[in-house]
Structure 1
Amino acid sequence: MMHLIPCKEAATAEDIAQMFLEHVWKLHGTPKRTVSDKGTTFNSKFLKALYKSLQINPSFSTAYHPQSDGQTEIKNQWLEAHLRPFINHRQSDWVDWLPPAEFAHNNARSEATGKLPFEIVYGHSPVISPLLELTRSPDADDRAKQLAETIQEVQASIKWAQEHYKQANTGKPPPEFQPGDKVWLLASNHIAASQQKV
């Protein structure tokens, strides 16, 4: 199960510990092990002492080789690819897209297990209201509709990506394109004026 928690680059070790308490520990309890980079925040005296007290075994990815923490790298790539179509051109609203992205990810069937991460953790699928019931509050109706549309968009994006990766792994040669063909453009190398770290 993935949790997407926005934080500022200037977050201290105490800030990280508080975020962990508020967003992870309350749902899952104390982990046996954590994996992070060797940054000063995660390698601080405070977190070392806290981990020792809670009997958490910290693991650190190798400097200049963040791919040694493969699971995190895969999730970061997934998050970047799935947020890109939704955030505005100034990249100032990415935090708003974290909750629906987290929900969609945790409710996408895993090819490895055949189950939803939500289902594995909680023992059942989440309740998703397929039909919206109108109320006497236009603002509430608009918000419910917006939430339903956002979840559908993110789930459609996940489904497309799963099919795309499935085809990429079949060993088939890449398709040939002709002038005038319509194709999807991968804009990951497009440099925006302002980027905030996710």
Structure 2
Amino acid sequence: MVHFIPYKETATAEDVAQLFLEHVWKLHVTPKQTVSDRGPTFNSKFLRVLYKALHIALSYSTAYHPQSDGQTEIKNQWLESYLHPFINHRQSDWVNWLPLAEFAHNNAKSKATGKSLFEIVYGRSPMISLALEPTGSPAADDRAKQLADTIQEVQASIKWAQERYKQADKGKQRPELAPGDKVWLLASNITS
């Protein structure tokens, strides 16, 4: 399952550990491994000691090469594409859309497996009812209608993003490299 968790850039390693406990561990217990982008929060002594105590392997992606953590990069691109049509013009309400984005992502079928993450983890798709019945409470009716409309927008947005990625992938040719091949290295971010 994918979890989109908002946090401030000023979050400490202790803050991240607490967010992990509140949003991930309570649902999935302790992972065997995590991958980090070498940010100072994940490189801190506190988190390294905590991971060692919990027997979690901490792997780092290659510096200045975020593609080496491909799954995270793909999720980040997906999230940006998803949020774009929904957030306000000041981009100040993106946090409000994260729960729906997480639901949409976990309910989207994978090309590789033909199943959603919900189906893989729970053995079935979540029940989504768009047939609304009046409740007698205008506030509840309005909220239910808003959620139903949002779910329809989410489903349309997922299809749009998937088509966009299909089109973008058609023109890409990845270089085929073998051990021993020589490549050019951009050294502007390497200090010696």
Q: Following TM superposition, by how much is the alpha carbon of 1:2 offset from its aligned partner in structure 2, in angstroms?
A: 1.0
Give the equivalent residue in structure 2 for 1:134. 134
Distance 1:68 1:103 in 2: 26
Question: Aligned with 1:58: secondary structure?
Answer: strand
Give the equivalent residue in structure 1 for 2:157. 157
Structure 1 pair 164–40 and aligned structure 2 pair: CA distance change class (3 A) = closer
Give the equivalent residue in structure 2 for 1:80. 80
Q: Following TM superposition, by how much is the alpha carbon of 1:170 offset from its aligned partner in structure 2, in angstroms?
A: 5.0
Distance 2:133 2:17 in 1: 40
Give the equivalent residue in structure 1 for 2:9. 9
Structure 1 residue runs without a partner (length 5+): 172-198
Over the matched positions of the two proteins, sequence identity in percent amounts to 78
Distance 2:149 2:51 in 1: 41
* Native 8 Å contact 2:109 2:115 kept in 1: yes
4+ residue runs over 2 A deviation: 163-171
Structure 1 pair 10–149 and aligned structure 2 pair: CA distance change class (3 A) = same
Q: Following TM superposition, by how much is the alpha carbon of 1:163 offset from its aligned partner in structure 2, in angstroms?
A: 2.5
Structure 2 residue runs without a partner (length 5+): 172-192
Residue type at the aligned position of 2:44: S
* Native 8 Å contact 2:13 2:41 kept in 1: yes
Q: Following TM superposition, by how much is the alpha carbon of 1:164 offset from its aligned partner in structure 2, in angstroms?
A: 3.1
Question: Aligned with 1:35: secondary structure?
Answer: strand
Give the equivalent residue in structure 2 for 1:115. 115
Where relative contact order (Cα < 8 A, 6+ residues apart) is larger, the structure is 1
- State the superposition RMSD in angstroms: 1.3
Q: Deviations over 1:120-176 (max 9, x none)?
A: 0111111111211211211111111111111211111111222333344456xxxxx
Distance 1:62 1:165 in 2: 24
Give the equivalent residue in structure 2 for 1:54. 54
Residue type at the aligned position of 2:37: D
Equivalent residues, number = 171
